[in-house]
Copies of this chain bind each other. A is one copy, B any other.
Amino acid sequence: MFPTNTWYVACTADEIDEKPLGRIICNQPIAFYRALEGKVAAVEDFCPHRGAPLSLGQVCEGKLVCGYHGLEMGCDGKTVAMPGQRVGGFPAIRSFPVEERYGFVWVWPGEKEKADPALIPHMEWHNNPEWAYGGGLYHVKADYRLMIDNLMDLTHETYVHATSIGQKEIDETPCKTTVSGDTVMTSRFMSDIPAPPFWKAALRAKGLADDVPVDRWQICRFTPPSHVMIEVGVAHAGHGGYDAPAEHKVYSVVVDFITPETDTSMHYFWGMARQFNPHDKALTAQIREGQGKIFSEDLEMLERQQRNIDTHPGRKLLMLNIDAGGVQSRKVIERVIAAEQGATA
């Protein structure tokens, strides 16, 4: 249950360097590698010769060379050469549109001719001196939509992340969900509250007082197929909250690219882009470590939730107001899939 005529994040740019990378995306084993001049390429991870995984091979002069018997695969899925063989009649394997952008490799697992790089969402923080970015990757054995639910309902922070970003005021403050086209937005604005530990640290890092009341905001935006960007921050209370001038607030964007691996597992690329102290690399590393720890707290919950759902397949789950973000996001996904299938049929 995932769209395929769309761009997913397949890996970070540094995951494929000298060596190819084998990764399953939307149930398809794919070999990613760097072809001529470092340009990323992606083909089925299946050598047409004897079925060996091409990702176990090497890249030589821009061609992916099978590590079993030396078949040289081209970016287009056509065999270029093989020692001692005429390869003209070799069956082609699938190749996949790929683009490298914003430090990620994006792959289009569906119909090749529909792939338009212009559809890759814009990330304003990339290579922007006013921003800093740090992030990581988790493999999670759960339906990717459980992560969308998770990120579109931040009341879980109070329970799962109680010691860092959770606080009871999240629960106590209603959120508002709106849908605009394919974008789902859930927002929550908290006024005049204490800052939780993560934000206290951020305030201190910027040289701001951390022991005064703050306004806090969380604005979650889902866009298909499965990207969730969350504007988060706190401002010293009484300066305009989300709209406060930069000197009174700390502000960042939680970046989540959620790529289905199989029907019940995902690659979860998480990160944070921030506008305060962008040149402070030690702070970037520290935030990255903290966020990694916080986000790891969700993993057992989601994996166990998946197992519970597998055990009780027929059971209806509740759809409360706090769940509206996830519910609406799933509706968008269903609509996108239906449109895809209609277009194909």
A140 → chain B, closest Cβ, in Å?
14
Docked CA distance A304–B304 (Å):
28
- Given A52-B304, A305-B53, are A312 and B46 also a contact pair (CB < 8 Å)? yes
What is the count of identical protomers in the complex? Answer: 3
- Which residue on B lies nearest to A311, using beta carbons? B29
Partner of A50, one of B66, B91, B317: B317
- The reply to whether B68 and A156 contact each other, CB–CB distance below 8 Å, is yes
Stretch at the interface among A82-90, A105-113, A223-231, A277-285: A82-90
Query: Is the CB of A275 closer than 8 A to any CB of chain B?
Result: no
Query: Is the CB of A210 closer than 8 A to any CB of chain B?
Result: no
- The reply to whether B308 and A29 contact each other, CB–CB distance below 8 Å, is yes
Contact with B along A159-193 (1 / 0, CB 8 A): 11000000010011010000000000000000000
Q: List 20 A-B contacts (CB under 8 A).
A: A29-B308, A48-B317, A48-B318, A49-B318, A49-B320, A50-B305, A50-B318, A50-B323, A51-B315, A52-B304, A53-B305, A53-B308, A57-B159, A68-B160, A70-B155, A83-B158, A83-B172, A84-B172, A85-B320, A85-B321
> Which A-B residue pairs are the 7 nearest by beta carbons?
A83-B171, A51-B308, A53-B304, A52-B305, A49-B318, A51-B309, A67-B159
Q: Which residues of A contact B (CB under 8 A)?
A: 29, 45-46, 48-53, 56-57, 65-70, 82-85, 90-91, 149, 153, 155-156, 158-160, 168, 171-172, 174, 300-301, 304-305, 308-309, 311-312, 315-318, 320-323
